[in-house]
Structure 1
Amino acid sequence: MRDRVFFPSDILKPFVKNYWTCRHDADVMEVMYPSGCIELCIDISSNDTIRHRGNNSMKVPDLEVLGHWTIPTMAALKKGNTCIITRFQPYASSLFFPNPASDFTNESIDLCNIFYKESDDFYNRLMEQRSIEHKVAVLETFLIQRLINNKKNNRQLKLVEHLCSYVSNTDSFDIQNLSAYYGFSERYIQKLFMDWIGITPQKFFSVHRFNRSLELLRSSQASLTSIAFECGYYDQAHFIKEFKSYTGLTPSQVKKL
């Protein structure tokens, strides 16, 4: 469950949504919902977490870059498991990691395989801190240094930020409309999304729509048909099919969790 939320300093505010701690007080098999963002997850409890995806299972590294999940995924978490999670803005992860964002899609990547000794030093410094606040401060310092060192094209960054905003605020998605509105080819826009965000613009729209439906499912008593139409699905059957493709569960099953 989500425990505490921390917000980034001014220099990171345009690129990091928030940090939050997550602690589990019992063994649990948890459904992972696609967030539409890449996350950095740091296990500060040394409790093994096992990720289940289809027929495959893997032990999650202590320093994990968690990409977009577009297929049903579960996590087996032990009692006492505690993590600090950084949720980046959808367009911003490439400012902190040298890989194209698509390298992380449906993957759980050990940060030590990206930054090697730098990652070990960072994790050791973070674990030396006694309080969560001081751990988050070490995390902030690490991210600020990565941001300073990045060589990304800021004009492209701004364009991708605008593209994300456009897709997030539309009720339906058409790549031709997006291309015409911004004056760039469909192929170029597709490449920008894969490099900077990690998924196609169509999939980004789909995940955003899924999260809108999940929020309504949890917060309202509206029928599945009403939620489906409010979120832009063709009908209830379309809503259920897409929802299940991300979670392995129907909306009705998730509502009961």
Structure 2
Amino acid sequence: MSWPPHPRLRGQVLGYRGCRLGMEVPRRRLELPVDVVTMFLGFGEPLRVQGAGTHAMPPSTVISLLAGPHEGAVIGEHAGRMCGIEVSMTSLAAFTLFGLPVDQLTNRIVDLTEPHGFPAPVAAGALAALPDWPERFARLDELLLARLDTGPTWSPQVEHLWRRLRLSRGRLAVSALAADVGWSGRHLESRFRQQLGLPPKRLARILRLQNALRMLTAGNRPLAQIAVDSGYYDQAHLGTDFKALTSCTPAQFRRIRAETPAMQALLTDRLAGHVTSAPLLAH
């Protein structure tokens, strides 16, 4: 069940998603790089997460987690049973709600059962005890609003530049961003790392990938055209970057997404406007 956050949170907290799965087979998904931070508050069933391809990240088994911005694909799997609430938020929201520099979360999966700036285990247990999803979402609103009012405030200049970079789909030069607010390139990079988790060039790389993914999954447009329209030098550049960030080629990804009706039934992108996932066969 999807649910909008409180009006004061909207625009930075992107949505809540309550899920309860009771499948008879394990489920594996390839999770792709996005410029979003994800918190999952689990109600008891473990998730196993590991890096895919060359994305070096040791395997971990968690119930509740915080996933920062990732520059490579991640494989998530569970035994077929899962229950909990997923909260998608911008990196700016994470900076305020968790009260820490976002680059401390970059390319990491944080186990929220360990001590952290946000009392996620308490929240997960309290949410699980409530009788239905609307009450859980309302309680989650209360928790996040309290953090919004007490956490550090993100920079309006960083928010402005992040929105410009997103609107350009990662095609604005760093020099143009810095000139817009009168910052040096070094200061711009420092503020982006602190509040967005990545410097502008690396964030732009993810935005270009997401634009290519949207076109790749929207039809049969030639890869050479997708490359040009997404800001890559040519098809070879698209292929190299795509493989590095997703662990597969554009053609392989197309096949994975459209392989069989059974796979289509498993497919749900987690966030509107983003291509976040692809189903994988369980081992």
TM-score of the superposition, structure 2-length normalised?
0.82
**Which digits, 9 at most, give the CA deviation of each residue in 1:73-123, with x for residues without a partner?**
21122212234211112422111012200011111112342147x433322
Contact 2:3 2:15 in 1 (8 A): yes
> Is 1:14 aligned with 2:11?
yes
Quote how far apart the aligned CAs of 1:38 are: 0.9
Q: SS in structure 1 opposite 2:120? A: helix
Quote how far apart the aligned CAs of 1:229 are: 0.9
Contact 2:2 2:17 in 1 (8 A): yes
Quote how far apart the aligned CAs of 1:68 are: 0.9
Cα distance, 1:9–1:59 mapped onto 2, change above 3 Å: same
**Which digits, 9 at most, give the CA deviation of each residue in 1:176-213, with x for residues without a partner?**
12111221111111011111010111111111111111
Q: SS in structure 1 opposite 2:134? A: helix
Structure 2 CA distance for aligned equivalents of residues 55 and 166 of structure 1: 31
CA RMSD of aligned residues (A): 1.8
**Where does residue 177 of structure 1 map in the other structure?**
176
> Is 1:159 aligned with 2:157?
yes
Contact 2:64 2:121 in 1 (8 A): no
Cα distance, 1:23–1:227 mapped onto 2, change above 3 Å: farther
Contact 1:72 1:247 in 2 (8 A): yes
**Where does residue 216 of structure 1 map in the other structure?**
215
Identify the match of residue 5 of structure 1 among 2, 5, 13: 2
Unaligned runs of 5+ residues in structure 1 are none
Quote how far apart the aligned CAs of 1:147 are: 0.8
Structure 2 CA distance for aligned equivalents of residues 108 and 67 of structure 1: 7
Cα distance, 1:55–1:188 mapped onto 2, change above 3 Å: closer
- The percentage of counterpart residues that share the same residue type is 22
Q: Which moved more, 1:233-242 or 1:22-31?
A: 22-31
Cα distance, 1:23–1:34 mapped onto 2, change above 3 Å: farther
**Where does residue 120 of structure 1 map in the other structure?**
121
Structure 2 CA distance for aligned equivalents of residues 92 and 99 of structure 1: 11
Quote how far apart the aligned CAs of 1:173 are: 3.3
**Where does residue 191 of structure 2 map in the other structure?**
192
Q: Which moved more, 1:5-14 or 1:191-200?
A: 5-14
Q: SS in structure 2 opposite 1:113? A: coil
Quote how far apart the aligned CAs of 1:23 are: 5.2
Structure 1 CA distance for aligned equivalents of residues 210 and 122 of structure 2: 36
Contact 2:66 2:109 in 1 (8 A): yes
Structure 1 CA distance for aligned equivalents of residues 60 and 153 of structure 2: 35
> Is 1:72 aligned with 2:70?
no
**Which digits, 9 at most, give the CA deviation of each residue in 1:214-239, with x for residues without a partner?**
11111121011111111111111111
Q: Which amino acid aligns with 2:102?
A: A
> Is 1:107 aligned with 2:108?
yes
Cα distance, 1:247–1:43 mapped onto 2, change above 3 Å: same
Structure 2 CA distance for aligned equivalents of residues 139 and 174 of structure 1: 38
Cα distance, 1:37–1:134 mapped onto 2, change above 3 Å: same
Quote how far apart the aligned CAs of 1:145 are: 1.0
Runs (4+) of structure 1 exceeding 4 A deviation are: none
Structure 1 CA distance for aligned equivalents of residues 60 and 101 of structure 2: 23
**Where does residue 233 of structure 1 map in the other structure?**
232
**Where does residue 136 of structure 1 map in the other structure?**
137
- Residue correspondences, number: 248
Q: SS in structure 2 opposite 1:243? A: helix
TM-score of the superposition, structure 1-length normalised?
0.90
Q: SS in structure 1 opposite 2:59? A: strand
Identify the match of residue 59 of structure 1 among 55, 58, 61: 61
Structure 1 CA distance for aligned equivalents of residues 20 and 29 of structure 2: 12
Contact 1:179 1:186 in 2 (8 A): yes
Q: Which amino acid aligns with 1:137?
A: A
**Where does residue 86 of structure 2 map in the other structure?**
85
1:28-39 residue pairs with structure 2 within 5 A?
28-39=27-38
